[in-house]
Structure 1
Amino acid sequence: MPILGALALALLAARLPAQDADRVEVKVSGTILLNTFYTSTRTNNFDNPQVVLRPGAADSLGDGGGLGFTVRQTRLGVRAFWPDLHGAEVRAEVDADFYGGQQQSAFGDLFPLLRIRRAVVDIAWDRATLLVGQEVPLIAEYNPMSLATLGLSGLSNSGNLWLWVPQIRGGVRLARTPSMKFDVEAAVLGAGANEPAGELLTQPDRAEQSGRPALEARAIVRWGNAERPGDVSIGVHQGWLATSGDSSISSNAIAAAARLPLGSRLTVTGEAFSGQALTGLGGGGVGQFLGVNNIPVATKGGWGQLMLTLPRSVTLAGAWGMDDPDDDDLDAAGRLRNVTTMGALHWTPAPFVTALEVRRLTTTYRTGERSAVHVNLGIGISF
């Protein structure tokens, strides 16, 4: 019941009178979403696949695919805004869904677990910003637009470093013109290797055992307005993973990102990266951070999406992503390459949302390629 209590408090706060000096605007938002889907063969995740698995025991009943329904990508959020709090604009947000896993029971997949995705406090002055909370990596802040992949990026393990990470982030505006802004930003992130956690007891993973946080920095140019924003950035990531004894290995990356509004209806968004041992950012290296003899897996990847907004609340979207680890770093069972292609038709006459998406995944092993097709129909309402 914690989420219901939080929502009730937010609604109450929105109705209470506030002093002019610290007036707060509170909004409760959400998307109630049903996804019905078909996946053609065995993948890592039936309702939202990222990689195709090699043939195994699960294929004894067929090809490992099937048809399903789920509501676990339903989202709930609370946002608060102070337009002038001690000279700064302050925004706070909690964003949650039900993609936190499932209980091991006969009907566990019908009762998904609540999960906090993002929880941030964002403070903005005239020439400086401060963010505290859990948010996407500073160097890779975009995800492909998709109602089929709200719970987990559809291009995770295919070039999208997406994972929400606890962090402290600051920025300084170095230059500003009437049409453009140039900022430099840096972040200290909670270290993580994206290793599986236990059900009850929290233990440090390899990144946390290094005793050091991860660090990121970027330079970014912004232009446009709230309806049609544009930006280009380049950034770096540095982290550490503990190994035997007191030694550690480096997790690092250089990344570029862009969001380009072209005319009034077309938008191109994309990211590219090169680095090593990057699973702590959400799938770099196709989910592999250590390879043969515990060497860090070097990898490169990226993704891009083209979105065309049409009249009558229709949007067409197409995306492609790829993650290509160094084959020499991987063992015999390693995933050598992962490619995902997506196409979607969105119809969103407010407050209703509907989307039909088709995704093709191709995962390469030393024994050859494995491919799967995923078809997803999302139907819901946003408020």
Structure 2
Amino acid sequence: MRKIPWVVAVVALAVTVMSGWAGTVTAAKSDIELYGYIKLDAVYDTQRNVAGDITLWTHPESIDGKDNEFNMTAKQSRFGLKITAPEMEGGPKITGKLEGGFYGVASASSSLASPHKNSLRIRLAYVDLAYDEWSIRAGQDWDTIIAIIPNAVNFTYFGDQGSPGYRRAQFRITKKTTMGATKLTTAVAAARTIGDLDVDRNGQDDGVDSGLPSVQAIATLETPWYTEKNLKLSVSGLYGQEMLDVMSTNNTVVKVDEHDYDSWMGMVSVYLPLASKLAAQGAVWKGQNLTAYEAGINQGINATLRTEVRAEGGWVQLVFDPAKKWNFNVGAGMDDPNDADLNAGGRARNQYLMASVWYKMNDQVHWAFEYSNLETSFKGLPAGAGKDEGVNDRFHGAVFYYF
């Protein structure tokens, strides 16, 4: 029988501490603020890619030929509620967020899956209990390891192309320390372990089968710089496990928990102001078995070789804000799985170049255009004349209406 995970004890301790801090609730209802946006995306791709409305990697010419696409969708539109609870005398500030969108599984997995009948999904759903220096967040939020996200019209923020991270259920404790004008923020979280698409085909998520949560942690130093904006430097990492069973040819379990596969990542992120209106930002990372974190080009476990897929990569971006209504970005990124961990035909490298411009007509209506060049290389495909890779030029226009 497995031992009770340590996270249960942590949660129990937090509940005990919070109950000791509880104060008197002022008789009032929670304040609820509606927010969100409506968005239309129109995209032309010079080469077929996965998966149409969004882009993760490009199909190789040697298999699919040269095949362009045009996609148009409004399913990145989203809505949410910001909730503020009544004040507590001597207690924490309690807030919550509930946010949804329309990139559910049925509508995101294929451009053929009812592109005008989109599936609702939860993006964010958490409660936050904040004191002066400590806070607890419980629910679904962005991965704790994420410090900086690239400016992108691309819905996936260049996931599986060098920019890792996603959202998942977690229990996070954060500590803020102020040292003059410098601020240090540290956080640790126990998060749901999401597996690599049920590799053993036993009908059970391989991450859930491990019986343990994953652990994520981050430390972020924010300090004054020679410009009016602060320098931000973050170091983060994660560790988790997936478990695979041995299955028979008729798909019955022969041996339970036969092999465990580790997931880990280390990442360094930086936001570096260069001038009052110019900044550089980016991240570098390394790890293994990172399918659930939008890294490794959706390759985490190689069941044939019985090994984790190692990968490394990163992204960099220059951000220029010449005026209140304008924003310009240029950048590049790479996701590079280790070829030794891949079978023939495996996705060996993703690398992109991008440039985008944003125009804020007013507080509600924003326009954006992004060009990106994505090159996906494959292991062992016939070389020559670009046939062993997929190259896509993507022209992406969007309009937002914020409310």
Looking at structure 2, the residues matched to 267 and 204 of structure 1 have their Cα atoms a distance apart, in angstroms, of 45
Question: Structure 1 residues 159, 250: closer, same or farther in 2, change over 3 A?
Answer: same
Q: Deviations over 1:44-63 (max 9, x none)?
A: 1112212011247765xxx3
Counterpart secondary structure, 1:336: strand
Residues 285, 299 of structure 1: 8 Å contact kept: yes
Q: Which residue number in structure 2 is paired with residue 286 of structure 1?
A: 297
Q: Deviations over 1:221-266 (max 9, x none)?
A: 13469x9565211122110011344331211111112233443322
Q: Deviations over 1:106-148 (max 9, x none)?
A: 88111211121111222221121111111121112432222x3
User: In structure 1, what residue type is equivalent to 2:370?
Assistant: E
User: In structure 2, what residue type is equivalent to 1:168?
Assistant: F
Q: Deviations over 1:195-242 (max 9, x none)?
A: 279xxxx953111111111011222213469x9565211122110011
Q: Which residue number in structure 2 is paired with residue 38 of structure 1?
A: 44
Looking at structure 2, the residues matched to 83 and 231 of structure 1 have their Cα atoms a distance apart, in angstroms, of 33
Q: Which residue number in structure 1 is paired with residue 9 of structure 2?
A: none
Q: Which residue number in structure 2 is paired with residue 171 of structure 1?
A: 174
Q: Which residue number in structure 2 is paired with residue 356 of structure 1?
A: 369
Q: TM-score, normalised by structure 2?
A: 0.80
Q: Which residue number in structure 2 is paired with residue 5 of structure 1?
A: none
Segments of structure 2 that go 5 or more residues without pairing to the other structure are 1-24, 246-255, 382-387
Looking at structure 2, the residues matched to 21 and 322 of structure 1 have their Cα atoms a distance apart, in angstroms, of 53
2:323 counterpart of 1:323: no
Quick one: which of 28, 31, 37 aligns to 1:25?
31
Question: Structure 1 residues 162, 314: closer, same or farther in 2, change over 3 A?
Answer: same
Higher Cα Rg: structure 1 or 2? 2
Q: Which residue number in structure 2 is paired with residue 222 of structure 1?
A: 222
Moved more, 353-362 or 25-34: 25-34
Counterpart secondary structure, 1:209: helix
Residues 102, 111 of structure 1: 8 Å contact kept: no
**How do 1:222-261 and structure 2 match up within 5 A?**
222-223=222-223, 228=229, 230-244=231-245, 245-246=256-257, 247-261=259-273
Looking at structure 2, the residues matched to 287 and 106 of structure 1 have their Cα atoms a distance apart, in angstroms, of 20
Q: Which residue number in structure 1 is paired with residue 103 of structure 2?
A: 99
2:195 counterpart of 1:156: no
Looking at structure 1, the residues matched to 53 and 112 of structure 2 have their Cα atoms a distance apart, in angstroms, of 18
Q: CA deviation at 1:271?
A: 1.8
Residues 46, 65 of structure 1: 8 Å contact kept: no
User: In structure 2, what residue type is equivalent to 1:79?
Assistant: K
Quick one: which of 47, 51, 59 aligns to 1:53?
59
Counterpart secondary structure, 1:280: helix
Counterpart secondary structure, 1:315: strand
Q: Which residue number in structure 2 is paired with residue 379 of structure 1?
A: 399
Q: Which residue number in structure 2 is paired with residue 76 of structure 1?
A: 79
**How do 1:269-308 and structure 2 match up within 5 A?**
269-282=281-294, 284-291=295-302, 292-308=304-320
User: In structure 2, what residue type is equivalent to 1:365?
Assistant: F
Residues 324, 336 of structure 1: 8 Å contact kept: yes
Q: CA deviation at 1:295?
A: 0.5
Looking at structure 2, the residues matched to 228 and 34 of structure 1 have their Cα atoms a distance apart, in angstroms, of 32
Counterpart secondary structure, 2:46: strand
User: In structure 2, what residue type is equivalent to 1:160?
Assistant: S
Question: Structure 1 residues 223, 25: closer, same or farther in 2, change over 3 A?
Answer: farther
Quick one: which of 63, 68, 79 aligns to 1:65?
68
Moved more, 361-370 or 216-225: 216-225
Q: CA deviation at 1:378?
A: 0.3
Question: Structure 1 residues 204, 109: closer, same or farther in 2, change over 3 A?
Answer: same
Question: Structure 1 residues 320, 57: closer, same or farther in 2, change over 3 A?
Answer: closer
Looking at structure 1, the residues matched to 395 and 233 of structure 2 have their Cα atoms a distance apart, in angstroms, of 32
Counterpart secondary structure, 1:37: strand
Residues 126, 137 of structure 2: 8 Å contact kept: yes
Counterpart secondary structure, 1:67: strand
Q: Which residue number in structure 1 is paired with residue 205 of structure 2?
A: 205
